Amino acid sequence: MHRQFVKVCRIHSAVNISNLVSVLRCSKSSQKYYCTKFENDTQGPNRTTRNADDNRKHSNNRKPPLPAIQNPFANVTNKTKDSYLAMLEIFEERDVHRRNHVEFIYAALRNMADFGVEYDLEVYKALINVMPKGKFIPTNVFQAEFMHYPKQQQCIIDLLEQMEDLGVIPDYEMEAMLLNIFGRRGHPLRKYWRMMYWMPKFKNLSPWPLPNPLPDDTLDIAKMAIDRMCTVDLRSKVSVFETKNVKDAIDDTWIVNGMSAEQSKLLSDHPCDKAVYIEGPFLIWLRNRSINYFTLRADPDQSFLHTQKEDQDDVSQINAPFFGTAVPRPKREVDKLRSVHQQEDGTIFAICATGTSTKDSLLSWIRLLEFNGNPKLGEIPVLFRFSSTVAAKAIEIESQTKPDTLQSHPRSNNKE
């Protein structure tokens, strides 16, 4: 058996050598087409120059076609999930060998956002399905250790990484697919298992969960933002006002207001000679959407915050006079509790977000608060404290409403 095997091997090698020789001969015969350097070595200097001239003429007449780097996804007019999946199907049925499937998957990954499918698990699975099953499974230890078919494995690892970055959690069907393609020892499998270990752990970790995807409507997002900020006080109520209900209001928008009974109480106890401030805009982010909000705030009540509360357990400073009896300590065991809203840097009465974030809408907010259970606001002076961005925005919005400013816009000038 062994001898036979050796013989066969020899025959094979002989065949290989003869093949190689024939290839070499072929290459000699086709030197002028493929190998210009070889030409230069063999032929005389005059001849080479003429040849070069010929070549130049040739190139002027007929340009060799550039290697085809086409993005099939860029030419699609109707960019939807269906057309994306249809393109994958076309690729799969075009050729038995599915040539260039790695390049195709990379191109498909780059164009996912244009089709709006970057958060879709089904599409990722369809992309993995492009890979042939069973071909890339290592059959021995060395193949398994030295990353069998590295380009293909890296391609799928990159796909999984994109999923990971966008927070798309894979499922068990994907595991089965990857097992069929790369086998138990494949690197994409290791990546998949690691993802399935960690991603569910972080998925619901946030104490303020958000719906996925976020709603598009700004009012819904504003409601969610105010709701989230109001979790500090369980008695808080989020209400939506319409500025239509206010007399003399210029803007016609919504106002989302967050206020609790405790804040109402604090506001009614606020002295009339001290001003309250509308401050903002401040930013709050809900995943990748941001909302501007404003606060109704007063300066901190220093006399209340800094009254010395005696710690009865503190034995570091016992007042023990040398003569006479000790002075009895003032006991303040029964006192007003400090509210959550009485922060060190101010007392917060209410939070709001408006549709336009203009001064006028905030004025309507104060009026609406006054009508809805806070009559004290009519007596307290209310001051605006804006950071620069909103003022600029307000001017911008106001300028757009005037016809004069519209004409002075550079684009309209160009048209004239």
Partner 1 sequence: MSVLRLCTRSCSNHIFSSTYLPLLQAQSVALANCIHTTAIRSTFWEKEKKSGYNTKITLPSRKELIVEGLRELKEEIKLWKEEMKEKLESDPILVYRPGEVDVVFNFKEDNALDRWVVTTDADHREGKSIAKLELSAAGAGLFHGSVNSEHVKDGVIKRTGYANIRTKRVRRSFKRESAFDWTQYNTLVMKIRGDGRNYLINLHTEGYFDLQWNDVYHFVLFTRGGPHWQMVKIPFSKFSCPQRVVYKIDRARFVWIVLHTLGFQLERKSIWTVPFG
Positions touching partner 1 (CB under 8 A) are 161, 164-167, 190, 193-195, 197-199, 202-203, 205-208, 225, 228-232, 282-286, 288, 293, 295, 297, 340-341, 343-346, 348, 351
Write the DSSP string, 24-90.
HHHHHHTHHHH-HHHHHHHS-HHHHHHHHHHHHHHHHHSPPPPP----TTTT-SS-SHHHHHHHHHH
Q: Which CB atom, from 93 or from 165, has the smaller least distance to partner 1?
A: 165
Q: Which residues contact 356 (CB under 8 A, 6 or more apart)?
A: 251, 253, 397
Query: Cβ(293)–Cβ(282) under 8 Å?
Result: yes
- Closer residue to partner 1 in complex, CB, 126/291: 291
Residue 367 CB coordination number (10 Å): 19
User: 98 vs 185, which CB is nearer to partner 1?
Assistant: 185
ω into residue 170 within 30 of 0, thus cis? no
Q: How far apart are CB 284 and partner 1 at their closest, in Å?
A: 4
| Residue (50 or 194) nearer to partner 1, CB | 194
* In the complex, minimum distance from the CB of residue 48 to partner 1, in angstroms, rounded to a whole number: 38
Cβ proximity to partner 1, 21 vs 232, nearer residue: 232
Question: What minimum distance in Å lies between the beta carbon of 385 and partner 1?
Answer: 11
Which CB, 87 or 174, lies closer to partner 1? Answer: 174
CB of residue 161 to partner 1, shortest distance in Å = 6
For residue 72, the minimal CB distance to partner 1 (Å) is: 24
> Whole-number minimum distance, CB 55 to partner 1, in Å?
33
Bridging pattern class, strands 276-286 and 382-386: parallel
Q: How far is the CB of 12 from partner 1 (least distance, A)?
A: 40
Q: Distance between CA atoms of 357 and 280, rounded to whole angstroms?
A: 9
Residue (311 or 404) nearer to partner 1, CB: 311
CA–CA distance, 402 with 257 (Å, rounded to integer): 30
Is the Cα dihedral 165, 167, 169, 170 positive or negative? negative
Considering only CA atoms, which of 259, 246, 209 is closest in space to residue 365?
A: 246
